[in-house]
């Protein structure tokens, strides 16, 4: 765990959960697993506050616990899961593009609350969608339930581990902490619920209009509620499945840039066929036959079986190894190699230009090259090649290996070979990305803090205008309220909004690079 990662985790925890949760979370990240009382003593926080902070962190899967033989419960922070909070906007936007607004709100509620039952999610989402609809229109629970089932079928949401029923029936003393288990067969099994109803608006009902405070109403309506049908079955967003989708999109984009649109469509079809059967962390997809791929091509994509076989052969023979051939049955068995080196070249060398990319790719393919060989193979003038090689050497993208002809290591009798250790280069870039994104978050927080008074004033004015519009105020009155913010203040607000939007967009772009680098490192480590 590097200092850059710890700093980024600290900023994310503080931004999402506040200072106390951040203090406990960062302490666990720095020290490793610790029992409750040690955490309270080391952080100087009251036991009650530590318990509440740990509850929040466990609810959001940011901390796990383990019972040791002596009955001591130790809590451990999941740093990688904390860093995933950077990707929350991307998860939500992806669901919106795949499953429209209903899917977007389902995943948003699960990410905001950590874990929820299906019935609670359906009701919350239906209420939120109803509020955005025109008067008289409502969102049916059944429609939201259908979208939830589709998300579970495609593994974008999954069940949380729960306490087994046998543990509750044990007559002995209760364990210090429950053991949570989940059967893999039940992980995406949606309970059969008959949720009948429609979303409700937050606006005051007829009973509220009568002036009766909610607290003074009789409570018999809540006491007679039926038990929740899916009580104890909690759901969470399956982040690994989202990562698999992002990875597939990156592969399709890389194939389209390297080959053509037809090749990318073939690869997209192969990825779609194996998206549920292939593990999100597998280095290769499941083998698919040429006949299966041909039958699964999109409707209206008119290419013959012979042309498909030619494309598959072309992809398999490409030196970048997007597609590999694993057998000859069924017209040929093919697999997709997950995140080859080629996917990283653009993110590695965008700062150096196309000529440096050519040199980098050349050294990567040839393994070891002298400076003269680089100049000849890359067909770049000696002076430019030397400058580019030294620039990449100083940035640690390349390393220099000395091979002496004699034991005295005399420079005149020594070979100097350039080589690339792409794994260490990826780790170095990943560290830089963590530092960059922490700087972006700090800058955004600074911009917001500097203009706090102006933002509060703007929010007050907007609230007044909204309330006046609801009561049917005249245009002249609204104009008078709007003029409470002067022209220079309005210009300052526009500049602030523009700057914050740029910083937000930069965070998302850097996180895309982080995802590529993390995925590449993970796949490379598994292959070794």
The string of DSSP codes covering 326-380 is EE-GGG-EEEEBSS-THHHHHHHHTTT-HHHHHHHHHHHHHS-B-HHHHHHHHT-
Using CA atoms, how far apart are residues 35 and 37, in angstroms rounded to an integer? 6
**Strands lying side by side in the sheet with 234-237:** 116-117, 234-237, 157-159
Task: Provide the 10 A C-beta neighbour count for residue 378.
Answer: 21
pLDDT band at 172 (very low <50, low <70, confident <90, very high): low
Is 1.10.10.10 the CATH number for 239-334?
yes
Q: What is the pLDDT of residue 218?
A: 46
pLDDT band at 467 (very low <50, low <70, confident <90, very high): confident
Tens-place pLDDT, residues 333-385: 778 776 555 555 655 556 667 778 788 888 888 888 888 888 888 888 888 88
Say whether 239-334 and 78-163+178-199+230-236 share the same fold: yes
Tens-place pLDDT, residues 262-285: 888 888 888 888 776 776 666 677
Bridge-based pairing state of the strands 73-77 and 288-289: unpaired
Nearest by Cα to 522 from 280, 300, 173: 280
In the predicted structure, residue 127 carries a pLDDT above the cut 80: yes
Task: Please report, to the nearest 10 degrees, the dihedral formed by the alpha carbons of residues 367, 371, 377, 380 taken in order.
Answer: 130
DSSP state of 188: T
Buried b (16+ CB within 10 A) or exposed e, 258-273: ebeeebbbbbbbbbeb
Joined tokens for residue 340: 């080859």
Q: What is the pLDDT of residue 211?
A: 45
The CATH number of 1-76, from 1.10.10.10, 3.40.50.720, 3.40.50.200, 2.40.30.10, is: 1.10.10.10
Q: What is the pLDDT of residue 291?
A: 82
Tens-place pLDDT, residues 419-436: 888 888 888 888 988 999
In the predicted structure, residue 96 carries a pLDDT above the cut 90: yes
Q: Where are the domains of the chain?
A: 1-76, 78-163+178-199+230-236, 239-334, 351-419, 423-524
Mean pLDDT, the chain, rounded, equals: 82
pLDDT band at 516 (very low <50, low <70, confident <90, very high): confident
Using CA atoms, how far apart are residues 47 and 20, in angstroms rounded to an integer? 12
Architecture of domain 351-419: Orthogonal Bundle (1.10)
Using CA atoms, how far apart are residues 486 and 108, in angstroms rounded to an integer? 36
Q: What is the pLDDT of residue 104?
A: 92
In the predicted structure, residue 212 carries a pLDDT above the cut 50: no
Using CA atoms, how far apart are residues 481 and 465, in angstroms rounded to an integer? 7
Residue that wins the pLDDT comparison between 443 and 471: 443
Residues 12-23 have a mean pLDDT of: 92
Task: Provide the 10 A C-beta neighbour count for residue 80.
Answer: 12
3-state secondary structure 136-151: CCCCEHHHHHHHHHHH
Using CA atoms, how far apart are residues 449 and 147, in angstroms rounded to an integer? 40
**Strands lying side by side in the sheet with 73-77:** 34-35, 73-77, 63-67
Using CA atoms, how far apart are residues 19 and 99, in angstroms rounded to an integer? 35
Using CA atoms, how far apart are residues 210 and 470, in angstroms rounded to an integer? 19
Is 3.30.70.580 the CATH number for 78-163+178-199+230-236?
no
Nearest by Cα to 243 from 524, 523, 526: 523
In the predicted structure, residue 137 carries a pLDDT above the cut 60: yes
pLDDT band at 313 (very low <50, low <70, confident <90, very high): confident
Tens-place pLDDT, residues 72-82: 888 999 999 99
Q: Which residues contact 518 (CB under 8 A, 6 or more apart)?
A: 430
User: Would you say 225 and 153 are in contact if contact means Cβ atoms under 8 Å apart?
Assistant: no
Angle, helices 422-450 vs 342-349, to 10°: value is 50
In the predicted structure, residue 195 carries a pLDDT above the cut 80: no
Residue that wins the pLDDT comparison between 53 and 469: 53
Tens-place pLDDT, residues 446-465: 988 888 888 888 888 888 88
What is the C-alpha end-to-end distance of the chain, expressed in Å?
22
In the predicted structure, residue 318 carries a pLDDT above the cut 80: no
pLDDT band at 170 (very low <50, low <70, confident <90, very high): low
Tens-place pLDDT, residues 217-249: 444 444 445 566 777 888 999 998 898 888 888
Q: What is the pLDDT of residue 209?
A: 40
Using CA atoms, how far apart are residues 218 and 248, in angstroms rounded to an integer? 55
Using CA atoms, how far apart are residues 470 and 347, in angstroms rounded to an integer? 50
């Amino acid at each position: 765990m590097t200092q850059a990662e710890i700093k980024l985790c600290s900023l994310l925890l503080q931004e999402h959960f506040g200072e106390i949760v951040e203090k406990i979370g960062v302490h666990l990240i720095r020290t490793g697993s610790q029992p409750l009382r040690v955490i309270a003593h080391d952080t100087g926080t009251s036991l009650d506050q530590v318990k509440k902070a740990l509850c929040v962190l466990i609810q959001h899967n940011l901390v796990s616990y383990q019972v040791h033989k002596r009955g001591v419960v130790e809590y451990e922070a999941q740093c990688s899961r904390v860093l995933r909070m950077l990707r929350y906007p991307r998860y939500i936007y992806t669901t919106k593009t795949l499953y429209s607004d209903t899917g977007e709100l389902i995943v948003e509620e699960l990410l905001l609350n950590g874990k929820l039952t299906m019935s609670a999610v359906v009701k919350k989402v239906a209420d939120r969608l109803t509020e955005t609809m025109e008067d008289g229109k409502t969102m049916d629970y059944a429609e939201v339930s259908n979208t939830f089932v589709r998300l579970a079928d495609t593994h974008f949401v999954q069940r949380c581990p729960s306490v087994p029923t046998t543990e509750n029936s044990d007559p002995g003393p209760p364990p210090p902490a429950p053991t949570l288990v989940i059967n893999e067969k039940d992980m995406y099994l949606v309970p059969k619920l008959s949720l009948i109803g429609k979303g409700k608006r937050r606006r005051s009902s007829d009973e509220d209009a009568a002036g009766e405070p909610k607290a003074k109403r009789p409570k018999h309506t809540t006491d007679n509620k039926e038990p929740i049908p899916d009580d104890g079955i909690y759901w969470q967003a399956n982040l690994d499945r989202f990562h698999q989708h992002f990875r597939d999109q990156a592969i399709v984009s890389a194939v389209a840039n390297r080959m053509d649109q037809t090749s990318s469509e073939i690869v997209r079809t192969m990825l779609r066929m194996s998206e549920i059967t292939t593990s999100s962390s597998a280095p290769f997809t499941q083998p698919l036959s040429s006949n299966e791929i041909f039958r699964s091509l999109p409707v209206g994509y008119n290419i013959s079986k012979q042309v498909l076989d030619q494309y598959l052969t072309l992809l398999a023979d490409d030196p970048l190894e997007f597609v590999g051939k694993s057998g000859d049955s069924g017209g040929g068995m093919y697999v997709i190699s997950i995140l080859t080196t080629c996917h990283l070249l653009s993110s590695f060398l965008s700062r150096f230009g196309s000529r440096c990319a050519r040199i980098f790719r050349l050294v990567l393919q040839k393994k070891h090259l002298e400076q003269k060989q680089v100049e000849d193979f890359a067909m770049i003038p000696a002076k430019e090649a030397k400058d580019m090689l030294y620039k990449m050497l100083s940035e640690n993208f390349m390393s220099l290996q000395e091979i002496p002809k004699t034991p005295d290591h005399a420079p005149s009798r020594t070979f100097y070979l350039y080589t690339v250790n792409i794994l260490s280069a990826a780790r170095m870039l990943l560290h830089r990305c963590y530092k960059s994104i922490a700087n972006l978050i700090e800058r955004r927080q600074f911009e917001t803090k500097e203009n706090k008074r102006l933002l509060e004033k703007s929010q007050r004015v907007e609230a007044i205008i909204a309330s006046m519009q609801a009561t049917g105020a005249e245009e002249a009155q609204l104009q008078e309220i709007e003029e409470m913010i002067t022209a220079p203040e309005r210009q300052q607000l526009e500049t602030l909004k523009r700057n914050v939007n740029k910083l937000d967009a930069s965070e998302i772009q850097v996180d895309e690079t982080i995802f590529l680098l993390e995925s590449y490192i993970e796949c490379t480590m598994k292959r070794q």
